[in-house]
Amino acid sequence: MPQDISKSNEIPVFDILPRHVGFIMDGNGRWAKQRGLPRSEGHKEGAKTFRKIGEYAADIGIKYVTFYAFSTENWKRPEAEVNAIMSLFGDYLNEVIERIGENEEKGIKLKFIGDRRGISPELLNLMNYTEKLTENKNKVTLNIAVNYGGRHELTSAVKNIAEKIKNGELSPENIDENLISDYLYTSGQPDPDLIIRPSGEYRLSNFLTWQSAYSELWFSDILWPDFTTEDFNEALRAFEKRNRRFGGI
């Protein structure tokens, strides 16, 4: 298994770093199944990896990181599993509050993207509180996509733009790519340069549908709970070698 750099003081140097990295955290259930454990145990281990990778991204200088934590489709999972995921989410937010001094030093700003309808009032309060608590941090913005779907995000953006046109606040001639981006959850942030998906799946699964138009993609067979900082480094080294032409020569 690759060494986990986060457990040492070694911080690698990269010639080119992506400004924004997206992670599709996949494989928690399979990780648990391989060990004869309930799926909730896989989500617990996956949550540890999420914390580790988020903090490491800040350490190496990546400015924006988006984690796909819970999709609009994940509500179809068994109720017990959904409840376990939401409980872990609450535990993480409470930990952020408890470790505010440490987080102050790390400079992590938390932002939650997705449709907040359907999320319990208790979790919503924690989400709002931690966003407010970290809003002035500027080392790294850590987006957590909860009840998120790329198509749903685009549909919401179109509805909001249409409402502005209906009210006479906007003209159809004003609509361009920049305007649409302004109505997305990631408004004001650069599009992801790199999207990483472990677990052996080779698709984006409705993640950052608009924003990923020119993202570099990196896939691996590693299940998310086993994903290490060294694996992250491998993806970043691969990114350094990509020739990003954006349609040019």
Q: Which alpha helices (H) appear in 136-219, and where do they start and end?
A: 150-166, 177-182
- Euclidean distance between CA atoms 103 and 46, whole angstroms: 20
Is 26 catalytic? The answer is yes
Global pTM reads 0.92
- Give pLDDT, residue 198: 96
Q: How many CB atoms lie within 10 A of CB 56?
A: 19
- Give pLDDT, residue 7: 56
- Give pLDDT, residue 128: 96
- Euclidean distance between CA atoms 43 and 218, whole angstroms: 22
Q: Per the residue annotation, which of 74, 115, 182, 206 is the catalytic one? A: 74
Query: How is domain 16-23+40-198+213-239 classified at the architecture level of CATH?
Result: 3-Layer(aba) Sandwich (3.40)
- Give pLDDT, residue 102: 72
**Phi and psi at residue 171, to the nearest 5°:** -105, 145
- Tokens describing residue 239: 């990114």
- Tokens describing residue 152: 């749903």
- Give pLDDT, residue 43: 94
Q: Residue-wise pLDDT tens for the chain (249 aa)? A: 555 665 556 789 999 999 999 999 999 999 999 999 999 999 999 999 999 999 999 999 999 999 999 999 999 999 999 999 999 999 999 998 888 777 677 889 999 999 999 899 999 999 999 999 999 998 999 999 999 999 999 999 999 999 999 999 999 999 999 999 999 999 999 999 999 999 999 999 999 999 999 999 999 999 999 999 999 999 999 999 998 676 666
Is 74 catalytic? The answer is yes
